[in-house]
Structure 1
């Protein structure tokens, strides 16, 4: 049996756990080539761990894919929340979601949405589908919460429309090789928001001066 050797470390370098190394390798390979195309042996080889480490840690390839998607979810939500923290109002935050999405469109290693790719190859009812659904629900919930803060009459409907623009921006950036696709999505989202704000019920239709100034400046 050929013993797998771990990666060479420089002096003072912190040694990653087998789990971390497997997730790093899976993240690179699965995202670049697809979860079905990449076999377990390639992940193990790139991670520099024994095969037993993978099964002892995750139990199966499906659970490794599930963990990979959870890690991407955490990374995406962290990036979006950092961008949202720059803006004070719910309207600005809603539009900033598209700005945050656009930060990765220009990356030469951008291959579209990892959750779309994984979902297309997933077995119905699997833990992979569960991870995809969790991510989708988080994005929809973020749009819904901010739309609710704005006081629009149908925040769930607006959130669905905004998520479709979000999805379309990612698809356009990938398929059309357009790193500026997020700007078109954001502009369409701004138009939807302005319409939703005008259609609010009379008892919630009072906009403060700052919000009106922001909306006017962005047109």
Structure 2
């Protein structure tokens, strides 16, 4: 099997297990067994469980935004795109049999690891920035909330949902 195939299989297995049962509960031996790889293969690609976790977060971040971009591509207009963010979240939650936000779950489990928290913040900030960008494009007049407040409100609604 190609090396990239092994690495992908390790990451796919770890991603599923981290999301389904949590980071701390998931052991290296379980990942090795379920990915059907040799221990040396795992450590060849990921020197530590933390390295595997960081790769999981990077991969999840990239795929989340790729999915979002594809979902929003046919939607025109900032108002419609803001509303579509809610549809995207609902669709994704149903498909994944939602067990919580990947990033929030990991942040709770690895709250003492600054590399992990940095990736969580990066993901959340990018999403909030996208919302702000769309809010800033709205042409409707509002007198209650400015752009920052509306972006924060929508971000919190989406995060809480």
With structure 2 as the length reference, what TM-score do the two structures score?
0.87
Alignment of 1:90-101 (within 5 A): 90-101=78-89
Residues matched between the structures, number: 157
With structure 1 as the length reference, what TM-score do the two structures score?
0.66
Match of 1:52 among 29, 37, 40: 40
C-alpha RMSD over aligned residues: 2.1
Q: Give the 3-state SS of the residue equivalent to 1:130 in structure 2.
A: helix
More helix by share: 2
Match of 2:134 among 129, 143, 146: 146
Structure 1 unaligned runs (5+)?
Answer: 1-5, 7-13, 170-219
Alignment of 1:31-180 (within 5 A): 31-107=19-95, 109-150=97-138, 154-169=146-161
Give the 4+ runs in structure 1 shifted more than 6 A.
none
Q: Give the 3-state SS of the residue equivalent to 2:74 in structure 1.
A: coil
Kindly indicate whether the alpha-carbon contact (under 8 Å) linking 1:63 and 1:128 is maintained by their aligned counterparts in 2.
Answer: no
TM-superposed CA distance for 1:47, in Å, is 1.3
Judged with a 3 Å threshold, the aligned counterparts in structure 2 of structure 1 residues 21 and 119 are, in CA distance, closer, same or farther, namely: same
Which string of whole-angstrom CA distances, capped at 9 and with x for unpartnered residues, describes residues 127-184 of structure 1?
2212211110111011011111225773222211111100111xxxxxxxxxxxxxxx
Match of 2:17 among 15, 24, 29: 29
Cα distance between partner residues in 1 of 2:146 and 2:113: 31
Cα distance between partner residues in 1 of 2:74 and 2:11: 30
